């Protein structure tokens, strides 16, 4: 088999090597067994959502883009999909560019051939919203409550956005001149165009969110003043203090952290970097973002995403690329071998193409200084690095020390929180301790999220901010904080969908059982989205034919063209491409109207719901008086929406 065929081979096979008999479906149909179990319609969380730190309702907006779920009258599908997406994440255009997309690693389609390009569809919707100047709907009623958000990064702005939608007055305090946090001061403009970031931030401010920039809480305004003037506080300061190299003489003036370097570059203060730049990347804050996806999605054949990378690993690459673009000779070192570095293969190829030298298996051991006290070289040693019991262990190889000449050394091994003026929230480990609602332990009315909890992804901070906003809202309304669900995501709401179509529905109280005689679901239905991720083993993968991914165009520069080039390198999908790519979604855990169950039911017990009563999730019904419990509808259901359970 050729190498190209090997890459696109289907990983799901109906027949195995050695099979010598054809298994016809009719044998099962006409010799159907009788059981006490009948089909139940189970809404589950797809693994893409289960592994999205922001909890986006990914399946829903892909269903809208592909045309399965219809928008309300008078609304275009693009806007409807964007509004469903932004219920969880107000930064689709930014995240569509920079999120490493753990959702794609968790995608069940990896078991067929390759994941759905979720990130690229998100990118398309974000661009559509900006081009068409879409706005959020401002609530008509104000609660009269005031919330202070400390930090205008992704976590703080996400929290402010959700609180403003709930009718609360919000003021964002930020020590910088402009809002955005690491989205502005940590990510270079050629990855996140500033006009895109500004447009998505302005939408939030248009909800009535007030700002106080160039204002550091604890210095320009005291914490006591904040507490006396506001009903609740959200801590979203981020971790914008970089970690210095843990070696002697790391305080030399030309040894800086990655966060300081990127902040200077994004502020326009960085004009030149010197001829030889050495970047140290990859450390104990570097995180394999696919870990959650693989655990929740049961994926055995995960493919690398277009943008998959870890925090410190990508930060190192950003620094290296900026330096190379300014004509510097750049060397990037990692304690891990190149094939185990945090950035994915694509990112490494981009760096190599731009003339960046990457050296793996090296650990810094010292700084060589000249007579002026400036660093002239980074002293490194060959090493073996591995994660042991959740901790990073680095073993140096004696006698392998050598120097890498440098005019500038950049430490990209992690980030830290600056607690100056806010020391009371430091848990002693340089972080803030909070519960599942992200309320700070021992500090009622104070919530936190993002890198102050644990340095991770931008989208993680967005998710923290949304959950904290729900907790703050309940607190301000005098309600008890609820226990968060095991799978904390924005799920498809069948009742809301029915109301949207004008179908009458009464109150629904969990758990739902025997709903075939109720008006909510018409068949026996249960929403398990808060506790169950649908694995690929529960789906009929044979239904899905091979379909290549529609990939965005990513511009790769070489050593010459990279010089002075700060243009964006990634292009959004066209509308047609976005629709076709969304069409590859397998709608894991929710009906996507394929008709298999109706066609294959030998008793004609499964039938289509009449159009006047049908909507997403209510496409088919079961006549339980005809059903014999043969399981065939379950066997042929591609999405796992139909499962077998006991009757009423």
Q: Where are the beta strands (DSSP E) in 291-449?
A: 329-334, 357-360, 362-369, 375-388, 391-396, 402-405, 408-412, 415-416, 446-448
* Residue 566 confidence (pLDDT): 62
Question: Is 3.30.1360.30 the CATH number for 55-239+417-487?
Answer: no
Question: 244-416: same fold as 55-239+417-487?
Answer: yes
CA separation for the pair 232, 468 (Å, rounded): 11
Q: Are 105 and 289 in contact (CB under 8 A)?
A: yes
Distances (CA, A) of 404 to 196, 206, 280, 315, 378: 39, 51, 11, 20, 5
Q: Are 14 and 256 in contact (CB under 8 A)?
A: no
Q: Where are the alpha helices (DSSP H) in 275-326?
A: 290-297, 311-325
Superfamily the domain 244-416 falls into:
FAD/NAD(P)-binding domain (3.50.50.60)
Q: Would you mind telling me the total number of residues written for the chain in this entry?
A: 648
Model pTM score: 0.81
* Residue 416 confidence (pLDDT): 79
* Residue 289 confidence (pLDDT): 24
Q: Token pair for residue 165?
A: 């939608």
Q: Where are the alpha helices (DSSP H) in 88-174?
A: 92-98, 102-106, 118-131, 154-165
* Residue ranges of the chain with per-residue pLDDT less than 70: 1-17, 19, 21-36, 266-273, 282-300, 302-317, 319-327, 342-347, 390, 506-522, 556-567, 646-648
Mind listing the pLDDT tens digit for each residue in 315-352? 666 766 666 666 678 888 888 888 877 665 666 777 78
* Residue 294 confidence (pLDDT): 24
- Domain boundaries, given as residue ranges, for the chain: 55-239+417-487, 244-416
Please provide residue 293's backbone torsions phi and psi, each rounded to the nearest 5 degrees: -60, -45
**Residue position matching structure tokens 């794609």:** 104
- Residue among 12, 128, 6, 153 nearest 64 (CA): 128
Q: Token pair for residue 641?
A: 């929406």
* Residue 483 confidence (pLDDT): 87
CA separation for the pair 170, 193 (Å, rounded): 26
């Amino acid at each position: 088999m050729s190498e190209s065929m090997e890459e696109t081979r289907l990983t799901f096979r109906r027949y195995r090597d050695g099979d010598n008999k054809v298994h016809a479906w009719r044998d099962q149909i006409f010799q159907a067994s009788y059981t006490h179990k009948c089909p139940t319609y189970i809404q589950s969380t797809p693994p893409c959502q289960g592994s999205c730190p922001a909890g986006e309702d990914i399946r829903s907006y892909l269903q809208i883009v592909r045309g399965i779920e219809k928008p309300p009258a008078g609304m275009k599908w693009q806007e409807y999909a964007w509004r469903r997406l932004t219920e969880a994440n107000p930064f689709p255009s930014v995240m569509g560019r920079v999120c490493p997309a753990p959702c794609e690693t968790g995608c069940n389609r990896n078991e067929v051939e390759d994941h759905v390009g979720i990130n690229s569809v998100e990118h398309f919707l974000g661009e559509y919203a900006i081009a068409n100047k879409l706005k959020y709907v401002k609530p008509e009623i104000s609660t009269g409550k005031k919330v202070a958000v400390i930090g205008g990064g992704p976590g703080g702005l996400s929290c402010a956005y959700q609180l403003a939608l709930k009718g609360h007055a919000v003021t964002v305090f930020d020590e910088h001149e402009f809002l955005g946090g690491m989205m502005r001061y940590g990510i270079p403009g050629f990855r996140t165009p500033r006009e895109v970031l500004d447009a998505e931030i302005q939408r939030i401010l248009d909800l009535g969110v007030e700002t106080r920039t160039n204002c550091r809480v604890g210095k320009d305004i005291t914490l006591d003043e904040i507490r006396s003037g506001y009903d609740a506080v959200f801590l979203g300061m981020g971790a914008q203090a970089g970690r210095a190299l843990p070696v002697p003489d790391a305080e030399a003036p030309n040894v800086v952290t990655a966060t300081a370097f990127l902040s200077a570059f994004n502020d326009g203060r960085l004009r030149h970097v010197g001829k030889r730049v050495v970047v140290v990347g990859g450390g104990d804050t570097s995180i394999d973002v696919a870990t959650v996806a693989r655990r929740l999605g049961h994926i055995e054949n995960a493919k690398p995403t277009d943008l998959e990378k870890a925090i410190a690993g990508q930060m190192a690459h950003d620094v290296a690329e900026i330096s190379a673009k300014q004509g510097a000779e750049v060397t990037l070192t990692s304690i891990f071998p190149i094939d185990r570095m945090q950035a994915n293969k694509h990112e490494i190829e981009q760096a190599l193409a731009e003339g960046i030298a990457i050296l793996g298996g090296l650990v810094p051991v010292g700084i060589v200084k000249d007579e002026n006290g400036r660093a002239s070289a980074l002293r490194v040693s060959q090493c073996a690095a591995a994660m042991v019991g959740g901790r990073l262990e680095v073993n140096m190889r004696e006698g392998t020390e050598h120097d890498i000449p440098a005019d500038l050394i950049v430490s990209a091994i992690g980030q830290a929180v600056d607690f100056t003026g806010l020391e009371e929230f430091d848990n002693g480990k340089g972080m803030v301790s909070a519960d599942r609602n992200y309320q700070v332990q021992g500090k009622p009315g104070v919530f936190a999220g993002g890198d102050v909890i644990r340095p991770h992804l931008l989208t993680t901070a967005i998710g923290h901010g949304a959950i904290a906003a729900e907790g703050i809202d309940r607190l301000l309304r005098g309600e008890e904080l609820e226990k968060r669900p095991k799978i904390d995501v924005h799920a498809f709401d069948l009742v809301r969908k029915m109301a949207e179509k004008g179908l009458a529905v009464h109150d629904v109280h969990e758990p739902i059982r025997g709903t075939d005689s109720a008006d909510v679901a018409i068949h026996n239905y249960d929403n398990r989205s808060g506790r169950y991720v649908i694995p690929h083993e529960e789906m009929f993968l044979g239904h899905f034919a091979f379909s290549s991914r529609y990939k965005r165009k990513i511009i790769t520069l070489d050593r010459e063209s990279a010089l002075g080039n700060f243009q964006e390198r990634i292009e959004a999908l066209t509308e047609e491409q976005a629709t076709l790519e969304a069409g590859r979604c397998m709608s894991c855990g929710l009906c996507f109207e394929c008709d298999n169950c109706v066609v294959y039911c030998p008793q004609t017990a499964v039938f289509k719901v009449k159009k006047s009563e049908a909507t997403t999730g209510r496409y088919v019904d079961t006549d339980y008086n005809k059903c014999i419990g043969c399981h065939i509808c379950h066997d042929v259901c591609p999405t796992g929406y139909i499962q077998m359970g006991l009757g009423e």
